[in-house]
Amino acid sequence: MLMTKPVLTDLQRLLLEALRKSGDWLTRPQIADAIQRESRLNPHDVNMLNELAKMGLIEIDERIVGTVRKQYFYRAVRQD
């Protein structure tokens, strides 16, 4: 069976490149800074990160901060 590379949008490529360049877990504000967003990621950016995770290109880690607040961390999956 022939495996094809997923087709990425420009935004998905930008997000993936920022995560690969970091080489470590990044929070949403850190990703926003890396892609030169004004202050934070918008909902479409978050949807694109979720799509990258579904494609197996990135990992998402959800951590509880304090008693109820969640913080999301993202990193690129290693390429072999």
Condensed to tens digits (0 to 9), the pLDDT of residues 4-30 reads 778 899 999 999 999 999 999 999 999
Q: How far, in Å, are 25, 49, 52, 55, 57 from residue 7 at the CA level?
A: 24, 14, 11, 10, 12
Task: At 27, list the tokens.
Answer: 């929070």
- At the top level of CATH, the class of 10-76 is mainly alpha
Specify the pLDDT at position 19: 98
Condensed to tens digits (0 to 9), the pLDDT of residues 40-71 reads 999 999 999 999 999 999 999 999 998 989 99
Tell me which of 76 and 6 has the higher pLDDT.
76
